[in-house]
Amino acid sequence: MSNKEVESPTLLHPMFTMVFMFVTQISIGMLAFQKYVYRESEHDAWISVVVAGLFAHVILFLIMKTLKRYQYQDLFHIHVRLFGKWFGGACNLIIICYWFSVSVYILRNYIEVLHIWIFAEVPVWVFTALFFALIIYALSGGLRVIGIVSLVNLLLVGWMAVLLYLPIRQAEWKLQLLPLMEASLGQIMMGSLAMGATLGGFEVVYYVSHRMKQPHRISTYAQLGLLFVNLLYVIVMLVSIGYYSEHQILNNSWGTLSLFKIVQFAFLERLEFVLIMLWLLIIVANLLVNYWIMTQGLHRVFNVKRKYACIVIMLMALVCNMLLKTGDQLAVVSGLVGKFSILFSFAYPVVIYIVAHIVECVRSRAKEA
């Protein structure tokens, strides 16, 4: 990034870190994470969610340390600084592939929800094309537009949290949550691992930090954003455990959506349809961030124009989306992406932190000598 760009007025308020964290972490995972965590740690699943959240805070702390060391440049830049042009470029490509898999996972899963709930007969490519039309349009506005769109979308969807009151009214917490800590430590950790796949996405700060004003304030906002996300996940998990019975929660692939099935108003029979359509806003915001990161990365590695990079990715994504034809194929891919997510959100930042520490130590010693 040249100095000219850093000083330009397109820099965002550091508060937007929070917004980006929200949209990348609460996407499709929020709709369907209960089953996978509950499978491991049963009615102590919420503890797993808390544990995974605490881990995320620690990792985020390491990410911020790494970023500070490199004056809040993005990860693509850090890679090159650490590993040189070729190997660093290869690392960048791997990262881009990871984000690509995440974007396919999110979009295809959302289309699956649309298929199951509302439009059973509309082909995948139609939905994909519609999304891409929106994404191209918004991407041309740059990160600033993405940030503001995400913020507005979050506000439009956020009110839905109030409706959790209705399942809460039917929840039997005393019967479902007690006795505490019945799951063994191993089970809790396995549950946290399952939760990690959902919680991944906070490493988005790696890529957006260099576009923020007053970068020293990013850390606070990032931790705060992560805290809110974690709280939301814990609340939804607690409500689900209270509302569903043991096997009911395991039986349900879309736990959060089914929570809203009992919400009923005289003028509106089924609220989860509204939730699904509003969730589109979150998904769009999430994909925007994903695509922005990918185009940014390709631009950095190959020095291609962002527009062309974006179109190439979209064509590939379209093909990938159409290749995933059935629910069970999707489940396999989703499981795989979940593992990637744990790898790149939780493990990789630690590796980068340690490597950066060693490399910089060696370099500074070499300078002294």
Partner 1 sequence: MYTLLILMVVTGCAESKIIDKLGILVAVGYDLTEEDSNDRIRTTVLSYKPGATSTSTVPTSASNNTSKGVREKLSLRTSTKEVIGQLRVAAYGEPLAREGIITLTDTFQRDSEIGTSVYLVVAKDSAEQLLNAKNKQQAGTGDYLYELVKKNIESGIVPSPTLHNFLNAYYRAGKDPVLPYIEVRGDEILISKLALMKDDRMIGSLNLSESFLVKAMMGSNHFLTHEIELNTDRLRKYYEPTFDKLYVTLSHIVTKSRIKLINKDTPEFHIQIQMKGEMEEISDLVNLEKAEVIHALQREAAETLKSEFEDVMKKLQTKQVDPVGFGSHYRSSVRVKDFTAKKWREMLKEAKFEFDVKVTFVNVGITS
Q: How far is the CB of 119 from partner 1 (least distance, A)?
A: 5
Considering only residues 117-136, where is the footprint of partner 1 by CB under 8 A?
117-123, 126, 129-130, 133-134
Q: State yes or no: residue 245 binds partner 1 (CB under 8 A).
A: yes
Closer residue to partner 1 (CB): 176 or 220 = 176
Considering only residues 349-368, where is the footprint of partner 1 by CB under 8 A?
none
DSSP 263-298: --BTTBS-HHHHHHHHHHHHHHHHHHHHHHHHHHHH
| Angle of the 218-243 helix axis to the 34-41 helix axis, nearest 10 | 70
Q: How far is the CB of 27 from partner 1 (least distance, A)?
A: 20
- Note whether 258 and 53 are within 8 A (CB): no
- Note whether 19 and 150 are within 8 A (CB): yes
CA 229 to CA 221: how far, in whole Å?
A: 12
Closer residue to partner 1 (CB): 4 or 174 = 174
Closer residue to partner 1 (CB): 72 or 244 = 244
Taking CA atoms, 217 is separated from 21, 106, 212, 224, 242, in Å, by 15, 30, 9, 11, 38
Closer residue to partner 1 (CB): 5 or 246 = 246
Of 232, 262, 311, 312, which one interacts with partner 1 (CB under 8 A)? 262
Count residues binding partner 1 (CB under 8 A).
36
CA 140 to CA 135: how far, in whole Å?
A: 9
Question: What number of other Cβ atoms are within 10 A of residue 110's Cβ?
Answer: 23
Considering only residues 159-188, where is the footprint of partner 1 by CB under 8 A?
170, 172, 174-179, 182
CA 75 to CA 79: how far, in whole Å?
A: 6
Using the rule CB under 8 A, give the single segment among 185-193, 264-272, 294-302, 332-340 that binds partner 1. 264-272
Q: State yes or no: residue 247 binds partner 1 (CB under 8 A).
A: yes
Q: How far is the CB of 135 from partner 1 (least distance, A)?
A: 10
Closer residue to partner 1 (CB): 174 or 365 = 174
- Note whether 17 and 218 are within 8 A (CB): yes
Q: How far is the CB of 274 from partner 1 (least distance, A)?
A: 13
Q: Distance from CA of residue 147 to its chain's centroid?
A: 15
Question: What number of other Cβ atoms are within 10 A of residue 106's Cβ?
Answer: 22
Backbone angles phi, psi at 119, to 5 degrees: -110, 90
- Note whether 11 and 209 are within 8 A (CB): no
Whether the CA torsion 167, 170, 172, 176 is positive or negative: it is negative
Q: How far is the CB of 134 from partner 1 (least distance, A)?
A: 7
Q: How far is the CB of 214 from partner 1 (least distance, A)?
A: 35
Using the rule CB under 8 A, give the single segment among 88-96, 248-256, 292-300, 355-363 that binds partner 1. 248-256
Q: How far is the CB of 367 from partner 1 (least distance, A)?
A: 54
Q: How far is the CB of 116 from partner 1 (least distance, A)?
A: 5
**DSSP code of 71?**
T
Closer residue to partner 1 (CB): 167 or 201 = 167
- List interacting residues with partner 1 (CB under 8 A): 116-123, 126, 129-130, 133-134, 137, 170, 172, 174-179, 182, 244-248, 251-252, 258, 261-262, 264, 269-270
